[in-house]
Chains A and B, each alone.
Chain A
Amino acid sequence: MNAPHPLRRREDLHLEFKSAEALARPEAIGREVAAMLNADGGEVWIGIREENGTAVEAQSIPDPERAAESLLDSLVDRLNPSPSHAEVQVKPVKVEDKIVLRIDVVPSSNRQPYALIKSGGWHFPRRIGNRIRAMSREEVFNREPEADLEDASRRIREERERIQEAGRDSMCLLLEPACEVAIDVSALADELRNDLLNNPARIGFRRIDWHFAQASEAPRLGKERVQWGWGFPEPAYRAEVRAHGAMLFECALGALHWKGEEREIWPLCLLEYPISAFRLARLILQKPATDETPIIADMAFFGIRGWKLRQGSPLDGSLFRIHEAVEYPEPDQDLTWAKPLVFPFTEIRETPDRCGFRLVRRVYEAFGLPETAIPREYDRESSRLVLPE
């Protein structure tokens, strides 16, 4: 239990001190550990008070064995990939006459970067000297293990280009796991046919809503994929799930129009279709995917030029009509984003609506509309789409 004395040492790239109170904020400790895992490793001491970066006092940790165990559990939950015993150890250590905790951090270069899961999102902190900063996207992607993410992004880009070449005016939403997940498409086809496509309540939608859980004919089972849609041969939408976990949802722009001016996107269609896609993804991936599985999500609109979007919710009645519909302001025919979003599956599992909302928010931004313009049916507090009963 005795260790090199930390008192009077200064914080640096490999050394961080936290007071005993920090145990009440395991997220903050997780951030320090993740930052060291993404740098060169080191030690994080809990129960050492510091002044101006120098350790000045040891503070007793009550029940240190139990605190160490609890802290390690918390780190395993908060970090992705979950650290192994070789990467992170938490030990009670005697400093002078006090028992404090020391976290030994030894990163595995082939598992970097490590993400801190916080508020449903992934964060990549990195220790620079005695400070922490967020890693840039380039740093995240240039890491060798991120080749999986890069591959998935490339696949999704290629798929998007294929759809673009088809020349349909449509909105497409693509989901691609960065690591392969195995989906039994035959079983999925059965489930779709026997239940899911006739029972949108499975994904929390009503039949009258705009969602991908309905079809004009039975789902088609192809080679390593299952497809369904509405209105073949000119589909209002089509959906496809592939055996390795990729999903495609494509919706004709015309299907986003319900009322209003010609070529006006009905805000509830724009909100509900993507959210239904994420809810379906949650259902389909819940068994094969792990919480840590990164899912790349991309959205694109083809032929969007001339289409309009109005702020607010149609359920606000005449108030909705007061605002003018805003035309897509760019001269381009298509609306795409250079970088897809990455969601750990845990985020899709816990807050699928928020994942959809984040994509929709980009669309509103592209139309020059603020986030507040998105219909209030997406409840910001609960991060859920709440439709009137």
Chain B
Amino acid sequence: MTNLKASLLALAATTALTAFAFPAQAEDSVFVPLFTYRTGPFAGSGIFIADGMHDYLTMLNERDGGIGGVKIAVEECETGYDTKKGLECYEAVKPKNPVMVNPWSTGITLPLIPRAAVDKIPILSMAYGLSASAQGDTFPWIFNPPDTYWDGFSQILKFIGGQEGGLDKLKGKKIGYIYLDAGFGREPLPLIEQLAKDYGFEAKLYPVAAAEMQNQSAQWLNVRRDRPDYMVMYGWGAMQPTAIKEAVKTNYPMDKFISIWWPSEDDARGAGDGAKGFKMLNWHGSTPDFPVIKDVQKYVVDAGKSQSPKEKVGTTLYNRGVYNSMLIAEAIRTAQQVTGKKVVTGEDVRRGLEDLNIDAARLKALGMEGFTGPIKLSCSDHNGHRPTFVQQWDGTKYVKVSDWIEPLSDKVKPLLQADAKAYAEKNAPWPARTEACDARS
């Protein structure tokens, strides 16, 4: 009997907390939810991003009192890189009028794309998500600066061409592509096919299933058999350190191993000395020696308001989070300027993102001189297609080893346009753009 009573009480207690309306947002603040993952198989990458994003916005609150005098209300929602939890986070934050959403997972971004226009919340999927969302005319509410995955691959190819003495020298070469067998890894495949045809190289594909991320010996055995001249990796989370370790194990020449912009220092460090020479794309600094990072350290890390260990501040993925938050803050500021309001809404920030223009002078004012390059978005270009550079692991840190590389826009842009058109057709009726263009660009 007591057992039954106890269990009934427990049942009653657990069902007592249902159907709560969530408290409305406090006035005079701008709500920015952060969809982060500090748990799960992708936490290895997600934790740094989360810390960087959180700390920059907190720094703005502490140092400047917010943006334009309005504080930023930052709230993290844990998604674990799971689409279902991500959607739950989205539904949970919607009543609080977020000004934008950063899903940090292509899997979560894809279901949100059609909802953005209906819910009037812009999505900033920085350098991930649906590449075609660069086309602002088809996707007025989605933004993915500074580069798409297609730009990234073309930049890697250009770098390889530079190593070989020209893109025409790629004829007959083998380029291996190892990728996470999920949306974001598969996205560049049409571009790779196209470029392989155009430049005459042979593309070898090595998919890695998400459940087999830590068991890549078969893929790297295949690499050993095929002996590609270069290896390109599109990975995330636990896939990256395993790939680097396996590459070292099979004695693949590390300086020919180039990854898209997602590895961190820890991913390369785990493989020991053999990982020296490993390269990756980047578009911002990966050290703490910039005024903006120093401010973050002073106002947030040293003041005990950060979850990040001190030695991780200023590393590649931490700075990536800082860059993302910088875009958020600048979008809010631009929205405030364009509308004249202090407490802006999602629709205002959409305009802010479209009118985003961060030039060299603004970068200097932000403390980001030398940290990254200028970026300008427009109504039709929601990406910017900015150049990136290649950085190389030297055993302790990443060092920039190339100049700024522009993407192969003449190859990438037609594919983006075609893909955007195909998306709109497949998801007909896809609403035509009705949002006005501020014609600032």
A binds B: no
Enumerate chain A interface residues (CB-CB to B < 8 A).
none
Enumerate chain B interface residues (CB-CB to A < 8 A).
none
